[in-house]
Structure 1
C-alpha cells in the first residue's frame, strides 16, 4: 500500500501571517502513480477555533488525568495504556493532527472515492466529533473485562457526564465490523470532551498494529483528489484506489479476526441516540 504522512515531500504545517493554516501532506505513490498532496486549509477563524479548543484541552487535561488514574486504581485488573499521549499531538502547537481531523470533519468525503462530496460544515457543527483532544486507554484481561468496564462506567459517572458509548464488540459479533473494544466519550463540568477506550491486551495490540500499519494509508487513499488527474485517467485511478481500500479492509480483518470477544462484553449497552 502507499506510504503516507510527514515525509520528505510533506510541506509541513504552516500558520500564515493572517492566522490561516495550511498543511500539504504527501500521500506517496500507489502502483507507480503519485497520490498527490491533500491540502489541509483552515481560515483564520477556523484556525483560531482549533487553537482555542486545544489550548483549553491542555489546561484541563491534568485534572482529567488525575480522575482517570483514580478510577483505574479503584478497579482490580485495570491497567492504563498510552501514558504520555493523553493529548492529541502531545499538546504541541500547531496541532497538525487535530487540525487535520477538524479539516476532514468539516469537509466530509463521499461514500466512495470519486463520488460527489457532501456540503462543507463549520467547526461548531462538528464540535461533537472532535472528542479526542484528550484521550485514554484502559485495558482489562479478557476474563474480567465486562465486569471491569461496567465498574469503570459507574466510577466515571460520579465525575463526568457520559455522552456516548460505542460498543464495537456488538458490531464485531454481528459481522458488521472488525474493530474491537468500547469507546466512551465524556464531558467535564466545564465542557471538555474526552474519550476513554476500553480494551483487552489483545484488542489493544491489534488496534495498535492496524493504526501503525494501515490507518494513515487508508485515510490517504480516501482523501485522494481525483481532479488532479486528466479526465481520461480518473476512472482507472478510482478503480485502483478502491482496490487498495478493499485490500486494507481484508488485511485489517486478518489482524482483528483472531481477537476474542470477552464474555459479557456485548451486553454493555451503547448510549441510545
Structure 2
C-alpha cells in the first residue's frame, strides 16, 4: 500500500472512529498503576539553581524530589496543553493501529499522570543543573504516549505500515530508538513524533507481546534506577536484573533494521 493511499485511508478511519474510552486528560491518566509518590527527604533545587523548592502549598514533592510553586505551575500548564492536543493525536494513532492490525495496549494511560510527569521533570533538573524547567519541558516527548503491539510474525510489516500512516498524516519524526539489535538491555522500538497542528510531542512504542511483558516486568526496577537517591552500586544491580529479563525476549526477523519513514526508501512504504 502506498503512502498516499495509507494517508487517505487513515483520514477516513480517523474521521469515523469514536473513542471507546473518554478522551479527556482527566480520565486518561487517572488509574495509572505505575505512579507512586512519597515525601521528600531533603529539598532540592528545581530550576537549575535559580530558586530553591519551598513549602508553599502549590509546590510539589515526591520521592525525595520537589518543584517550587513557579515550576509546578509551568508543568501544570504544559499538562493542560497536552490534554487539549491528545484527542486529535489519539484519533490518528487509533487509525494507524486499525490499518496495521495492531493491538493498542494501555490506551487508558495515554496521558502521563501529573505526579509521574513532575517526578520526571524534577529528576531531569536534579541531574542537569544547567537546565531550567522550560528547557526540560521543551525536550519532554512522552507526556502523551501510546503502545502498538503485534505478534512476532507480523511485527515488521505492522511497524512499517503504522509509522508510514503517522508520517503521512504530517507528524514529524523526532525520535527513532530501535534497540532490537543490542546485546543487553531494553528491546523494542520507541519513537517520538510532533503533531502538525498543536506541535505537541508524543511517543509511540512498538512492541511484541514478549517485549511488552519485559518492559512491564522491569518498570519498577527502571524507576528505582532513575531516582537520584539510588546508589551507583544499586543502579548497577538493577541494570543486571533488567538485562536478564530482556535477554529472554525473542527478536522478530528484520526488526533491528527497521528505520524511520523519513529514512526509508519510497518503495518500502
TM superposition score normalised by structure 2? 0.72
Aligned pair partner of 2:188 in 142, 157, 181: 181
Superposition pairs of residues 1-273 of structure 1, within 5 angstroms: 5-6=36-37, 19=58, 21-25=59-63, 38-44=64-70, 46-76=71-101, 78-89=102-113, 95-108=114-127, 118-159=128-169, 160-170=171-181, 172=182, 175=183, 177-189=184-196, 190-212=198-220, 214-220=221-227, 223-224=228-229, 241-269=231-259
Deviation at 1:219, TM superposition (A): 2.3
Deviation at 1:107, TM superposition (A): 2.5
Residue pair 1:168, 1:180 contacting (<8 A) in 2 also: yes
Q: Secondary structure at the match of 1:88?
A: coil
Cα deviation digits, residues 139-164 of structure 1 (max 9, x gap): 01111111111111111102211111
Task: Return the alpha-carbon distance in structure 2 between the equivalents of residues 127 and 217 of structure 1.
Answer: 22
Deviation at 1:251, TM superposition (A): 1.2
Residue pair 1:162, 1:184 contacting (<8 A) in 2 also: yes
RMSD: 2.5
Unaligned 5+ runs, structure 2: 1-34, 42-52, 264-269
Deviation at 1:126, TM superposition (A): 2.4
Residue pair 1:75, 1:152 contacting (<8 A) in 2 also: yes
Deviation at 1:217, TM superposition (A): 2.1
Residue pair 1:107, 1:120 contacting (<8 A) in 2 also: no
Q: Secondary structure at the match of 1:198?
A: strand
Q: Secondary structure at the match of 1:84?
A: helix
Task: Return the alpha-carbon distance in structure 1 between the equivalents of residues 232 and 72 of structure 2.
Answer: 32
Q: Secondary structure at the match of 1:138?
A: strand
Deviation at 1:130, TM superposition (A): 1.1
Residue pair 2:99, 2:161 contacting (<8 A) in 1 also: no
Deviation at 1:188, TM superposition (A): 0.9
Deviation at 1:79, TM superposition (A): 0.8
Task: Return the alpha-carbon distance in structure 1 between the equivalents of residues 153 and 214 of structure 2.
Answer: 18
1:111 counterpart residue number:
none
Residue pair 2:142, 2:201 contacting (<8 A) in 1 also: yes
Unaligned 5+ runs, structure 1: 26-37, 90-94, 109-117, 226-240
- Indicate how the Cα distance of structure 1 residues 49 and 83 shifts in structure 2: closer, same or farther if over 3 A, else same: same
Aligned length, in residue pairs:
215
Deviation at 1:200, TM superposition (A): 0.3
- Indicate how the Cα distance of structure 1 residues 266 and 208 shifts in structure 2: closer, same or farther if over 3 A, else same: same
Task: Return the alpha-carbon distance in structure 1 between the equivalents of residues 152 and 69 of structure 2.
Answer: 46
